[in-house]
Copies of this chain bind each other. A is one copy, B any other.
């Protein structure tokens, strides 16, 4: 008996915490997964905001980290457009347009990705730098892993993107 064909791998880094780039990342990740690819999303720097819990504060040590994590609170509901945010008006409009066009919200995309078996991994290096404990993230997110993990995945992937 032959082994079934190995799945084509698709790996992406989400560095950005912008609503529009997060949307692009999740559209690609969920489409790839539903086409049968094996998908890993690696969240780093501002991209970590996308998978932070929406409720509750983040407990960081030290004044600077507490300041940073208040300013940079994150959570899928707090993401902004990279353009035309216009004090929140543009972002609000874009979310309305998404609803009107029956697009999933980022929250729904995260659930879809999970259901489709997409691995969502926070970058441990960034988490260390930004003082983010594991419980800063929503459920369904995998354990933190570092750049070596990402590169090992990327090496085996047909497509790797940095978003």
A1-41 near B? 1/0 per residue, CB < 8 Å: 00000001010010101001100100110011001010000
A128: contacting residue among B72, B101, B148, CB under 8 A: B101
A83–B131 Cα gap in the complex (Å)? Answer: 17
User: Using Cβ atoms and an 8 Å threshold, which residues of chain B touch A157?
Assistant: 159
Which residue on B lies nearest to A89, using beta carbons?
B67
Does A129 touch B at the CB level, under 8 Å?
yes
> A residues engaging B (CB < 8 A)?
8, 10, 13, 15, 17, 20-21, 24, 27-28, 31-32, 35, 37, 44-46, 62, 64-65, 67-68, 71-72, 82-84, 93, 96-98, 100-101, 103, 125, 128-131, 146-148, 150-152, 154-155, 157-163
> How many chain copies does the complex carry?
3
Q: Contact check: which of B45, B84, B158, B159 meets A72 at CB < 8 Å? A: B84
Verify A83–B27 contact, CB threshold 8 A: no
In the complex the two chains form, what is the Cα distance from A4 to B37 in whole Å? 30
Residues of chain B within 8 A (CB-CB) of A28 are 147, 150-151
